[in-house]
Amino acid sequence: KNLTIASDFFDIPTFTSKFSGSNNLIIASLNVQSIQSKYNSLNSLLDSWNTYNVPVHILALQEVWHIPHPELLPFSGFKLIHKSRPRGRGGGIGFLIRNNINCKIIENLSPFVPYVFESLTVEITLNDNKKYSCTSIYRSPNPPNAMSRRSEEHTSELQSHSDLVCRL
């Protein structure tokens, strides 16, 4: 099969309309700005996709923020995998992955430097034993200090990450 990668922005009704009934692997991305405060809304979105037969398999998340008790955030049909800053507001990345998809974190492709380059890479194995790697990356728009140095560090980390992925 050919792999088609698109990086389009959709509002929720357009996304739902476009992908309803699709047989393709669908990976979406969403900046949640605190998964705890958006928990009910995010669950409603997932329920809506299920109702309208939108088979999102993986939802990459940015800005999950600190999650002290992830076990208190159950998502129907999905498992939450995440990395967050040790405390405070902002940042953090993760995935919601359908329960029927096997996955594991790839630590050497998941550098996490708070405020500079926050990433999480997972390897997923589908029912046909095909394996894919998915990465969620977040760069803080307001690094705490030395903004140009942080921007250069982010660019360097992104290049290193890209080089590692391309060698696989």
Instruction: Summarize pLDDT for 148-162 with one digit per residue, the tens.
Output: 566 677 677 767 766
**Residue-level pLDDT at 144:** 57
For 46, half-sphere exposure in the C-beta direction (CA atoms, 13 angstrom radius) is: 21
**Residue-level pLDDT at 49:** 93
Question: Residue type at 8?
Answer: D
Q: What is the pTM of this model?
A: 0.84
Residue 81 has pLDDT above 80, yes or no: yes
Q: What is the pLDDT of residues 39-57, one digit of tens each?
A: 999 999 999 999 999 999 9
Phi, psi at 118, each rounded to 5° = -110, 120
CA distance 118 to 143: 12
The encoded tokens of residue 19 equal 């992908």
CA distance 82 to 64: 8
Looking at residue 102, what DSSP letter applies? E
> Which residue carries 């990356």 as its tokens?
137
Q: What is the pLDDT of residues 106-129, one digit of tens each?
A: 999 999 988 888 999 999 998 888
Question: Residue type at 9?
Answer: F
CA distance 115 to 72: 26
CA distance 145 to 27: 34
